[in-house]
Amino acid sequence: MPFVASVLIRACKDSGESSDMEVVLGGIASLNDEIEWFKREGSKWDVDFSTVVPQRANQEYGRLLISYMLIE
């Protein structure tokens, strides 16, 4: 979420195009839909997401997104 917020801020600040903001907001809406789908599917399979441990690839991807936030 911090990465998405940083993209939203940059789209607002760096672009004069309202369509850029619409693309970012559409992506956020899609992420919300996907998260809700995961929650529904997880409950069908009795998955307790609070006990899921991120895999190394997920952790590295998170670090990559954070590094993009630091680029100005």
Percent of the chain with pLDDT over 70: 92
- Residues spanned by the domain of 58: 2-70
Distances (CA, A) of 6 to 3, 9, 55: 5, 5, 24
What pTM did the predictor assign? 0.60
The number of domains in the chain is: 1
Percent of the chain with pLDDT over 90: 40
* Per-range mean pLDDT, top range of 14-18, 26-30, 34-38: 34-38
